Amino acid sequence: MKYSDQQRVQRIYDNDIFDEEQIMKSFARSERHDEARENAKRLIKRGKLPLDEIAICLPSISMRELKELEAEISAESMTES
């Protein structure tokens, strides 16, 4: 299939817009995930909820990630002591 110059330019333009939209969506997801991580850290530091309940409240954070955060926080508190 041969494309005219105008069609080629339009395809490039369409792909650039698609890429830009994907980048913006990815950025928004990343921002939400970072916010959820910060919330998880605060909840872990307070020590009021077990990890499985935090996972229910923050479903975008996996149990594995919660355990990693818990280990980080534990290590931080050990170095501060």
Residue from 10, 64, 1, 2 nearest 37 by CA: 64
Entry pTM: 0.70
Average pLDDT over residues 71-78: 91
Residue 5 pLDDT > 70: no
**Which pLDDT tens digit goes with each residue over 20-61?**
777 777 878 889 999 999 999 999 999 999 999 999 999 999
DSSP state of 61: S
What's the N-to-C CA distance of the chain in angstroms? 70
Residue 72 pLDDT > 70: yes
Structure token pair of residue 13:
């333009």
Distance CA 54, CA 57 (A): 5
Name, in order, each residue with C-beta under 8 angstroms of 57's C-beta and a sequence gap of 6 or more: 43, 49
